[in-house]
Amino acid sequence: MRIGVPKEIKVREYRVGLTPDSAAELIRAGHDVVVETQAGSGVGFSDDDYKAIGAHILPDAEAVFADAEMIVKVKEPQPSETAMLKPHHILYTYLHLAPDPVQAEGLRQSGCTAIAYETVTDVDGRLPLLTPMSQVAGRMSVSVAAHCLQKAQGGRGLMLGGVPGVLPAKVVIIGGGVAGTHAAEMAIGARADVTVFDRSAKRLAELDEQFAGSVKTAYSTQGALDKAVREADVVIGAVLIPGAAAPKLVSRAMLADMKDGAVLVDIAIDQGGCFETSKATTHDAPTYIIDGVVHYCVANMPGAYARTSTLALNNATLPFALALANKGPQAAMNDDPHLARGLNVHAGEICYEPVARDLNLPYVKPQWLTSI
């Protein structure tokens, strides 16, 4: 199979779909890899690094899309990229389609087969291709919250951990999954006062045990959450419904009762965000203020730590990329129901039920797909 790696074009997105080491694994398996010039430069991989392992360098994205059968990316295709997709293409990347009808329609019109990292599962029902980026975003959420709390950034002027004689900031984390757990770890390390909300009593018990009681846990009823948000200095939204739009758990009305200079960090923004007032921002302009509350809603948070994120992501995505290339998409997905759950679009139809539901479109399971 001929596999193409275009340069990412989303604002301040430096990650790359395949590292030279990952490309080398595909080449050793008998495949050809073509890479857009400078695709890896943002994370320290030169064109010569790719040439050294046998990849071919092409001058632009148009050449990559025209030459390749499978396109391996990091972020969802932008409109100019979607326009280059054809029915023979396999697109393997993050998609986050539920809150993005424009992208969904573009992929449907292209006729391509689009496999989303964020809905591939493992034997335990977890999301192994989302996990590394959730780890990065969770850890990063605390550092950006600390920055946003600075008075010069519009925040309350509080240090997360306080100092002797001064109470620490109150950090509320909504969601005890991968991102929320890593956020809690960093917030505790910064000596903040940390409470994690979740709707799974089992998960709350696990968190209590994991952190030996150093994090408070609370079952997420709306009343309990409303009270905690009003008292919080930082609220980190880390809720996830696989493939579906994130639920809106903090309303615009709740902002009026929050402290002036409090900070909202929305890790769920790729799936539409879990705060009613969330709107996607960029690393160039990451924050805005509504009703005195600072919002940080960058839609590609891990891109800030692009090299770490690229290496972690490739560790997770490479085995599935090899399966797709070695077997072809249909055989690979029929051999592996976990990979099959990554199928979001095929032949103009939406093939992942939560996405179809949120976009108010028909869900169509391909007739050839027998593994799920």
Paired with 113 in beta bridges are 90
Q: How far apart are CA 174 and CA 99, in angstroms?
A: 20
Let me know: does 283 contact 255? Beta carbons within 8 Å: no
Our answer to whether residue 96 is catalytic in this structure is: yes
Q: How far apart are CA 183 and CA 177, in angstroms?
A: 10
Our answer to whether residue 295 is catalytic in this structure is: no
Q: Tell me the residue length of the chain.
A: 372
Q: Which of 9, 4, 32 is nearest to 88 (CA)?
A: 4
Q: How far apart are CA 198 and CA 207, in angstroms?
A: 10
Q: Which of 53, 48, 56, 5 is nearest to 29 (CA)?
A: 53
Q: How far apart are CA 255 and CA 263, in angstroms?
A: 10
φ/ψ of residue 163, rounded to 5: -145, 170
> Which of 100, 233, 266, 270 is an active site residue?
270
> Which of 96, 295, 338, 346 is an active site residue?
96
Give the contacts of 9 (CB within 8 A, at least 6 positions apart): 61, 78, 80, 81
Q: Are strands 113-116 and 56-58 parallel, antiparallel or unpaired?
A: unpaired
What is residue 295's three-state secondary structure? strand
Return the active site residues: 96, 270
